[in-house]
Structure 1
Amino acid sequence: MRCGMKRLAILALAITASCGSASAQSSDKKYGPGVTDQEIKLGQTAAYSGPVSTGAAIGRGALAYFEKVNREKGGVNGRKIKLISLDDAYSPPKAYEQTRKLVEEDGVLAIAGSVGSPTGIAAQAYLNKAGVPQLFQISGNRKFNDPKNSPWSTAFFIPNFVEGQIFGKLILKSRPNAKIAVLHPQDELGREYLAGLRSGLGDKADTMIVKVATYESSSPTIDSQVAQLSSSGADLFFNAAVGKFAAQSIRAARSMGWNARMIVPSISNSVATIIRPAGVENAKGLIGAQWQKDPTDPEWSNDKDVKDYLEFARTYLPGADLADLAYATGYMVGNLMEEILRRCGDDLTRESVLKQATNLKGISLELGLPGITYENSPEDHNLIRNLRIVEFDGVKWAPFAARIGN
């Protein structure tokens, strides 16, 4: 009898210890909204309709990436990733409403890789007040690198101001007597590019910039703006137009016989959505910038990252035009978010996600260019640190030669 009682006591102790261990394991898991043992919900808005719907490929690239992760890896740390990507039509009011829906109705853990500067700015104050991570906004606006006032926001692109500054310094060094015409959208993105260009030119900005023209994203064409710039006497065209307007302006400048040397920033280097619609002959000699590999460029034909991406696209993006780098951008955002969630482990609160997303040091991004630095900190949320200057040779982007000259 005593033997039986002893066995029962030992069994009771074992059960108690087991329950205590299970309880400890359970308590190690910290979940924010949108997280269960099986799933992590993320949100995003992009322009699937409207004047700059070319950005929809970023959303589709990210969705396809997480489909791959879920199917081939079972998700991240055993949890499937559900990305809810909604159309904002590149309208700031609509982006705000769709973001609220993602947070308040869909209950997402974080917003990741939403597309656009004005749309992201429209949702920024709301997300920061609510304590929801606004991660890797597809934007180069400096407002997404303001940890003091907007600690929950980060951007994916190099700041537009910094890129404009890089080109300003390059122009100053290579063509100190250039007469510059500038075209940009009438929004935050355009104003940042212009401010950076002026900063790079320094004291000579007022004399070197002879004409600035702007356009609204609702405009059907920008031929009249290009005509104004072409008649200004400028011999260098800093063209910060976006999407279809970049292609229109390149084509219009050449059709008007304006043969000024032309510069476009990194947001307008897509062969599929900018160069081909503009006409490859019209784009020959164009100067641009890169921070990611172009999967269609023969330079990378034997690169492992590119081979993996092309295999991924065959399965998860059938029929996509891979010369459109927006798909690759969405893929890279997905890759980055996978790494952040992996680092979070079972601490999947919004605070933990933000901590991991703002402590990236020397990371290697799939499809990232060699020599380009990707890192940030809680004090500096900027991720992409430098650029490669390139020139379009009539077929592909090639390393830029010595100077901006004819």
Structure 2
Amino acid sequence: MRARILAALGACFVIASGPAAAQKKYGPGVTDTEIKIGNFVPYSGPASAYGMVGRINGAYFKMLNDKGGINGRKINWLSYDDAYSPPKAVEQTRKLVENDEVLLLFQTLGTPSNTAVMKYLNTKKVPQIMLSSGGTRFGDDPKANPWTMPFNVPYQAEGRIYAKWIIDNHPNAKIAVLSANDDYGKDIYKGVRDGLGEKISMIVSEATYDNSDPTVDSQIVKLKASGADMFLNLSTPKFAAMAIRKIGEIGWKPIQILNQVSQSTGAVLKPAGLDHSQGLIGANYTKDPIDPAWKDDAGMKEFNAFVDKYAPDVDRSNGLVLYSYGAAQTLEYILKQAGDDLSRDNIMRIATSLKGLAPTSLLPGITMNTAPGDHFPIKQMQMIRFKGDQWESFGPVIEAKMN
């Protein structure tokens, strides 16, 4: 009798487990024990400061793997150097998709590089998600690019926020603008110009730089000579730091607005000189890792424990550290929600149905929300001001409207 009961229970187990096993659905790069995730960032070249993004994501996935992975599967993180070069990004992306056969690309960095691979990835139907760029083109046409989704606030929206703040608080300002001569610089600067609208004449001087330029000294001297009393710094970290330092060295005293991608205390403001950085204005959506206001915040305690163990030599005042940590939290959520349906279709279904998701890196009141027709997860920011050795938030959370 006991043998018959055990046999019957065994049969029931087989029947019960059969459908569950059949429900497993895997895309490329997925097995019962592994999920391959692809990435490229500039570990070398003029934008190598951004290499921190790939490093912290890798450290986060190592932490997850040490805890058993996601739903029992370890993350195989394949992160390659594209040197901030679009042709190199194309080469690395093809390697990841065709040779490594990754499930998806995550946090690939840079507007020019992501632009170069977007059509290829959408043709191949490979998720290109939470990419490290706020390029407006990556989220403004989900029908044409259904497999692409950025993590950052769209750059044009950020530009509009600065324009609104200027008009509301300094309506008679004479503005000088430094921007990158690439897709990123043109994108955020368009947001500023659109936001100023009829007040576009407030811009009295503008200059650009190329990533190959050794300095921006001549551009800063030119902008100062225009008589501008406000400086809008729309630059990537290396050049933003050089601009801030040069402004301090020549004794120019404009109101300075610094774009979000270059607000890292460790990577930008310290090299520029904290004495030259006092009073900088910006807008952001993430917490400042060194702000004592967060010392009792549960999420920041977890972040600090993570850094202590998995990236002990990094400067946590580098905003890219917390930024990358929050993006990795987002991917962890998506993969957990996917369960055993780790198909590319299901990954995008989950990524385009986020409702009120709040990685611990985000400022209070800012959440991630998406839909099939809305590929901009974060659309809110708050104004910040640099004082002493840290950023301080002020004013309300602002919805970054795209229209």
TM-score calculated relative to the size of structure 2? 0.94
Give the residue type in structure 1 aligned to 2:289: P
Q: Which deviates the most, 38-47 or 369-378?
A: 369-378
Determine the structure 1 residue equivalent to 2:26.
Answer: 31
1:42 aligns with 2:37: yes
C-alpha distance after superposition, 1:87-117 (max 9, x if no partner): 1111111011101101111110000111111
Q: Return the match for 2:136 from 118, 126, 142.
A: 142
Q: How does 1:102-141 map to 2 (within 5 A)?
A: 102-141=96-135
Contact 1:58 1:328 in 2 (8 A): no
Q: Any conservation in 2 of the 1:51–1:217 contact (CA below 8 Å)?
A: yes
Looking at structure 2, the residues matched to 124 and 25 of structure 1 have their Cα atoms a distance apart, in angstroms, of 35
Aligned partner of 2:401 in structure 1 is none
SS of equivalent to 1:35: coil
**Partner SS state of residue 257, structure 1:** coil
Spell out the pairing of 1:1-400 with structure 2 (5 A cutoff).
Answer: 19-72=14-67, 74-145=68-139, 146-205=141-200, 207-400=201-394
> What percent of counterpart residues are identical?
44
- Partner Cα separation in structure 1 for residue 233 and residue 385 of structure 2: 14
Rounded to whole Å, the distance in 2 between the matches of 1:331 and 1:8 is: 53
SS for the counterpart of 1:48 is: coil
2:154·2:379 contact (CA, 8 Å) conserved in 1? no
SS in 1 for 2:36: strand
1:212 is displaced (CA, Å) by 1.3
2:65 maps to a residue whose letter is N
Maintained 8 Å contact 1:168/1:201: yes
Kept in 2, the 8 Å contact 1:61–1:329? The answer is: no
> Structure 1 309/14 Cα, relative in aligned 2: closer, same or farther at 3 Å?
closer
What is the rounded CA distance, in whole Å, between the counterparts of 2:285 and 2:84 in structure 1?
24
Native 8 Å contact 1:287 1:400 kept in 2: no
| Aligned-residue offset at 1:268 | 1.3
What do residues 166-202 of structure 1 show as CA deviations (whole Å, max 9, x unaligned)? 1101111111111111111011110111111011111
How does the TM-score come out when normalised to structure 1? 0.93
Instruction: Tell me the CA shift for residue 328 of structure 1.
Output: 1.4
Q: Distance between the aligned counterparts of 1:117 and 1:320, measured in 2?
A: 25
Q: Compared with structure 1, are the counterparts of its residues 11 and 399 closer, same or farther at alpha carbon in structure 2 (3 Å cutoff)?
A: closer
Equivalences, count: 395
Letter in 2 for 1:176: P
TM-superposed deviation, 1:24: 2.1
Task: Pick which of 256-265 and 19-28 moved more.
Answer: 19-28
By how many angstroms is 1:65 displaced?
0.6
Aligned counterparts of 1:172 and 1:24: Cα–Cα separation in 2: 61
Unpaired runs of at least 5, structure 2: 397-403
Structure 1: gaps spanning 5 or more residues: 1-5
SS state at 1:387 partner: strand
- Residue equivalent to 1:3: none
- Report the 3-state secondary structure (helix = DSSP H, G, I; strand = E; otherwise coil) of the residue aligned with 2:380: coil
Does structure 1 conserve the Cα–Cα contact (< 8 Å) formed by 2:382 and 2:395?
A: no
Q: Separation in 2 of the partners of 1:272 and 1:190?
A: 22
Give the Cα separation in 2 of the matches to 1:376 and 1:218. 37
What amino acid is the match of 1:223? D
Task: From the superposition, tell whether residues 256 and 78 of structure 1 become closer, same or farther in structure 2 (CA, over 3 Å).
Answer: same
Q: 2-side partners of 1:7 and 1:193: how far apart?
A: 74
Deviations, residues 206-248 of structure 1 (Å, cap 9, x unaligned): x111111111111111111111111111111111011110000
SS at match of 1:399: strand
**Residue 373 (structure 1) shift:** 2.7
Give the deviation of 1:399 after TM superposition: 2.8
Q: CA deviation at 1:26?
A: 2.1
Using the TM superposition, give the Cα deviation of residue 23 of structure 1 relative to its aligned residue in structure 2, in angstroms.
3.6
Give the Å deviation of 1:204: 1.4
CA distance in 2, matches of 1:8, 1:263: 78
Measured at CA, do residues 11 and 287 of structure 1 come closer, stay the same or move farther in structure 2, by a change above 3 Å?
closer
* Deviation of 1:18 (Å): 5.4
For residues 368 and 12 of structure 2, the distance between their equivalents in structure 1, rounded to whole angstroms, comes to 46
Greater radius of gyration (CA): 1
Contact 2:157-2:191 at 8 Å conserved across structures: yes
Deviations 1:145-184 (A, max 9, x none): 0201111000011011000001101111111111111111
Q: List structure 1 segments (4+ residues) > 4 angstroms apart after TM superposition.
A: 6-22
Report the Cα distance in structure 1 between the residues aligned to 2:82 and 2:322, rounded to whole angstroms.
21
